[in-house]
Amino acid sequence: MKLERSCYCGEPREQDVGKELVLCGWVHSRRDHGGVIFVDLRDRSGIVQLVFNPEHSPQSHASAGALRNEYVLVARGQLRARSDDTVNPNMPTGKVELMVGELEILNASRPSPFAIDDEAVVTENTRLKFRYLDLRRPFMQKFLRLRHEVCRLSRELLNSEGFLEVETPMLTRSTPEGARDYLVPSRVNQGSFFALPQSPQLFKQLLMVSGLDRYYQIARCFRDEDLRADRQPEFTQIDLEMSFAGSEAVMNLVEGLLKKLFSELAGLEFNAAFPRMPYAEAMARFGSDRPDTRFGLELKDLTEVFAGSGFKVFKQAVDGGGAVKAIVVKGGAAMSRKEIDDLGSYASDFGAKGMAWIKINEGQWQSPIVKFFSDGEKQRLGEVLEIEDGDLVLFASDSEQVVHAVLGALRCKIAADRDLIDPSRFDFLWVTEFPMFEWNDDDKRYQALHHPFTALHPDDGIEVLDSLSGGPGTALRSDAYDIVLNGVELGGGSVRIHQPQLQRKVFEALGIGEEEAAEKFGFLVEALGYGAPPHAGLALGLDRLVAMLAGTDSIRDVIAFPKTQRAACLLTQAPSTVDAAQLRGLGLRVDL
RNA sequence: GGGGUCGUAGUUCAGCUGGUUAGAACGCCGGCCUGUCACGCCGGAGGUCGCGAGUUCGAGUCUCGUCGGCCCCGCCA
């Protein structure tokens, strides 16, 4: 290439008219009029029109005849103003064009499988197979640039707050608890495996013991679990940890970071502090630990109303220690039987065995179940739910866990279906006071809700843990906090345990024996014994954060080379089998 | 592990209760065209109907299996 680029395609403006410019890029489209040829030239900055006129430059006009979409070229020429009747008001460079005097075709291109523009509708399959072409599309470039800006601004703020960016190992040890690990065989130590980190959790705590005081990292994390639109096997966290700090310091810092990001990248200003809500309240009112507070449809507790009900389904739920709750859909009485049945079927996805309902039409209660209610129950129901004409009441009765899952999911679906969500709203929410432990019925033991290094809530001290024989129960609260935006968990963190004796007790409560704890986490407990400062931290899901800012539902859109739902890369065909020799070198044999 | 949905030309899709030679748009190729910017006009090529069985006189269409994309449940400290 003998010509040197003078600026990007999207940059030339009226004030540049008369300048000699050299532009590089891809042919976005070509319009050959037999005589004059127009070429829209595209690069990451935008599009500008090139003009090839046979009278102006016969040579370059002749070469331009061979151009096709996505050919790569460099063109030299004079920028000139377009005549008033040929100005294109739809493009930023629409008042100018480059009169090409010299053209060099740098590379040809096969026809693209899909148009390189924002309008082309392409299946995910094709996009991922030709990801390098998908990423040529302006909206994808915008998303990647947005991601870059989030990283840049985060580093900027954290640097200015005295945080040090430190890298932690990608090859680390497998630990119990948590997600499945991605394993990496060791050639040097045959039969042993590294694990890719699920998060840098232990290392950042060790950095606090080291006295780094404030750490951050834009860290890749790996979890070998099944995928969703918002879950990839490898994903990125903005991970941070602070010494001599508690939950308030971390929440204030992260709140400031999020406010800055949304202000600078989305033009959204948040003046008030983000609201906070204890876990128990979130579950009771919204049926979720990451409630979307942009709309109502809150859960109403009817357990007491139906404690002795003649309606067996409700009575049995209450007698079994469960709950009866309901949501009220304003105007929902107009729904058809099929619409309600569809909601019931959706509810069953979340464990509901059935979904009772009442339509209130002109004072009449239409329902398959009302006949089982006593007059007192009906009256109490009307009071608690503040029923009005046109309402639809949807019930769930089961264990509290199922009731919350069902109604929590229903309220979100109904809000989306009925367009109850104001798309301009961004509701941040801190959820706090999580339970320390939850019961895992499959393994018949307690496990940490957050992770086993989480400190107890200050009001639920170590003495409470001590006083519980025969299991820690689920009433103990931890000093953990999640940041939620519009019902999406953007991140979470906690105050960590910094005393070795307490850490040992928590392992014990989790049923991790002394021996196992020593083997798997001994290095952490040992480190805590060498003057670990109190510390706390948090990690933000970068992919989800950028997706929210970009306004897309899928984090694949903000990851350059994502995996499919089956955890494969359609571009490189990873994962793949490997040579027998490669396996032998690692001391491995595939046994399928 | 389970449920749902989709798979037809390069792309996005249509293709009815099974029935002659599988269509459209865009793209692509060729020709014409000196001010277009969704350029226009004329002509043309292009199909393993994901794959494999089965039912049938006959399958893009029905059945079963399988592979793949997406969404969800379980799972994800």
pLDDT of residue A514: 84
Residues A413 and A437 occupy one common structural domain: no
pLDDT of residue A555: 97
Which residue has the least CA–C1' distance to nucleotide B34?
A35
CA distance A377 to A386: 14
Q: Residue A94, CB, less than 7 Å from strand B?
A: yes
Which nucleotide lies at the shortest CA–C1' distance from A452? B77
CA distance A167 to A215: 10
Distance A128 CA to B21 C1' (A): 36
Classified as helix, coil or strand, A432 is: strand
Beta-ladder partners of A102: A76
Residues A368 and A496 occupy one common structural domain: no
Q: Does a structural domain hold residue A510?
A: yes
The residue among A394, A417, A440 that closes a domain is A417
Distance A126 CA to B16 C1' (A): 30
Spell out the SS3 assignment of A23-48. Answer: EEEEEEEEEECCCCEEEEEEECCEEE
Which nucleotide lies at the shortest CA–C1' distance from A61? B34
Residue A293, token pair as written in the block:
């507070």
Q: Which of A61-65, A158-162, A370-374, A508-512 has the lowest mean pLDDT?
A: A508-512
> Strands (DSSP E) along A330-413, which ranges?
357-361, 364-366, 392-398
Residues ≥6 apart with Cβ < 8 Å to A338: none
Which residue has the least CA–C1' distance to nucleotide B41?
A33
From the list A103, A82, A74, the residue with the least C-alpha distance to A9 is A74
Q: Residue A228, CB, less than 7 Å from strand B?
A: yes
Residues A393 and A461 occupy one common structural domain: no
Residue span of the structural domain in which A359 resides: 295-417
The answer to whether A224 touches A180, Cβ cutoff 8 Å, is yes
Higher confidence at residue A175 or residue A344?
A: A344
How much is the average pLDDT of A60-88? 96
CA distance A80 to A182: 58
Distance A118 CA to B21 C1' (A): 38
Distance A566 CA to B53 C1' (A): 26
- Which one-letter DSSP state was computed for residue A278? E
Which nucleotide lies at the shortest CA–C1' distance from A454? B77
Which nucleotide lies at the shortest CA–C1' distance from A177? B77
pLDDT of residue A276: 98
Q: Does a structural domain hold residue A576?
A: no
Mean of the per-residue pLDDT values for chain A?
94
From the list A356, A378, A377, the residue with the least C-alpha distance to A367 is A356
CA distance A507 to A411: 37
Residue A8, token pair as written in the block:
């990007």
First to last CA, chain A: 53
Distance A113 CA to B48 C1' (A): 20
pLDDT at A480 > cutoff 80: yes
How much is the average pLDDT of A490-511? 92
pLDDT of residue A473: 66
pLDDT at A67 > cutoff 80: yes
Can you give the pTM of this predicted structure?
Answer: 0.95
Q: Which of A233-237, A433-437, A514-518, A586-590 has the lowest mean pLDDT?
A: A514-518
Element (H, E) at A234: strand A234-243
Q: Which chain A residues in 346-375 sit with Cβ < 7 A of strand B? A: 349-351
CA distance A247 to A421: 31
Peptide bond into A435 cis (omega under 30): no
Supply the CATH number for residue A222's domain.
3.30.930.10
Backbone phi, then psi, for A395, in 5-degree steps?
-110, 150
The residue among A395, A417, A439 that closes a domain is A417
The answer to whether A436 touches A476, Cβ cutoff 8 Å, is yes
Spell out the SS3 assignment of A279-294. Answer: HHHHHHHHCCCCCCCC
Q: For residue A476, how many other CB atoms are within 10 A of its CB?
A: 18
- Give ipTM to 2 decimals: 0.94
How much is the average pLDDT of A540-569? 97
Which nucleotide lies at the shortest CA–C1' distance from A555? B70
Distance A574 CA to B49 C1' (A): 28
> Strands (DSSP E) along A249-332, which ranges?
276-278, 300-301, 323-329
Residues ≥6 apart with Cβ < 8 Å to A349: A409
Q: Does a structural domain hold residue A273?
A: yes
pLDDT of residue A444: 76
Q: pLDDT for A174-217, tens place per residue? A: 987 789 999 999 999 999 999 999 999 999 999 999 999 999 99
Supply the CATH number for residue A102's domain.
2.40.50.140
Query: Looking at the 3D structure of chain A, how many domains does it have?
Result: 3
Residues A507 and A535 occupy one common structural domain: yes
Residues A323 and A439 occupy one common structural domain: no
Residues A462 and A402 occupy one common structural domain: no
Q: pLDDT for A373-423, tens place per residue? A: 999 999 999 999 999 999 999 999 999 999 999 999 999 999 999 999 999
Q: Residue A198, CB, less than 7 Å from strand B?
A: yes
Q: Residue A232, CB, less than 7 Å from strand B?
A: no
pLDDT at A77 > cutoff 90: yes
Distance A192 CA to B51 C1' (A): 40
Q: pLDDT for A427-474, tens place per residue? A: 999 999 999 988 877 777 788 889 999 999 988 866 666 655 556 667
The answer to whether A299 touches A284, Cβ cutoff 8 Å, is yes
pLDDT of residue A275: 98
CA distance A405 to A337: 23
CA distance A29 to A42: 9
- Which one-letter DSSP state was computed for residue A225? S
Residue A470, token pair as written in the block:
């025969």
How much is the average pLDDT of A19-42? 97
Residues A441 and A527 occupy one common structural domain: yes
How much is the average pLDDT of A55-79? 96
The answer to whether A267 touches A424, Cβ cutoff 8 Å, is no
Residues A146 and A272 occupy one common structural domain: yes
CA distance A45 to A179: 41
The residue among A368, A396, A417 that closes a domain is A417
Q: Which chain A residues in 27-86 sit with Cβ < 7 A of strand B? A: 29, 31-36, 38, 40, 49, 51, 53-55, 68-69, 82-83, 85-86
State how far Cα A117 lies from the chain centre. Answer: 25
Helical segments of A437-553, H only: 462-467, 500-509, 514-528, 542-550
Q: Does a structural domain hold residue A43?
A: yes
Backbone phi, then psi, for A246, in 5-degree steps?
-115, -165
CA distance A165 to A197: 17
Distance A316 CA to B27 C1' (A): 63
CA distance A224 to A183: 9
pLDDT of residue A147: 98
Instruction: Using alpha carbons, list the distances in angstroms from residue A91 to A13, A64, A119.
Output: 11, 23, 16
Query: A237 in the Ramachandran plot: left (φ > 0), alpha (ψ -120 to 50) or beta?
Result: beta
Distance A126 CA to B70 C1' (A): 12
Which nucleotide lies at the shortest CA–C1' distance from A449? B77
Q: Positive or negative CA dihedral for A9, A10, A13, A16?
A: negative
Q: Does a structural domain hold residue A123?
A: no
Q: Does a structural domain hold residue A482?
A: yes
Residue A229, token pair as written in the block:
């639109």
Residues A458 and A522 occupy one common structural domain: yes
Query: A162 in the Ramachandran plot: left (φ > 0), alpha (ψ -120 to 50) or beta?
Result: left
Q: Does a structural domain hold residue A583?
A: no
Q: Which chain A residues in 531-570 sit with Cβ < 7 A of strand B? A: 553-554, 556, 564-566, 568, 570
pLDDT of residue A518: 87
Distance A132 CA to B65 C1' (A): 35
Q: Which chain A residues in 468-527 sit with Cβ < 7 A of strand B? A: none
Bridge-based pairing of strands A480-485 and A96-107 is unpaired
CA distance A340 to A332: 9
Mark the nucleotides of strand B covered by protein, meaning any atom under 7 Å from a CB: 1, 10-13, 26-29, 32-40, 68-77
How much is the average pLDDT of A248-263? 98
The C-alpha angle A539, A542, A547, rounded to 5 degrees, equals: 140
State how far Cα A110 lies from the chain centre. Answer: 36
Distance A193 CA to B36 C1' (A): 63
Q: Does a structural domain hold residue A124?
A: no
Residue A481 exposed, middle or buried by CB count within 10 Å (0-12, 13-18, 19+): buried
Which nucleotide lies at the shortest CA–C1' distance from A556? B70
Residues A80 and A170 occupy one common structural domain: no
Q: Residue A229, CB, less than 7 Å from strand B?
A: yes
pLDDT of residue A467: 54
Residues A434 and A555 occupy one common structural domain: yes
pLDDT of residue A421: 94
Supply the CATH number for residue A407's domain.
3.30.1360.30
Residues A156 and A215 occupy one common structural domain: yes
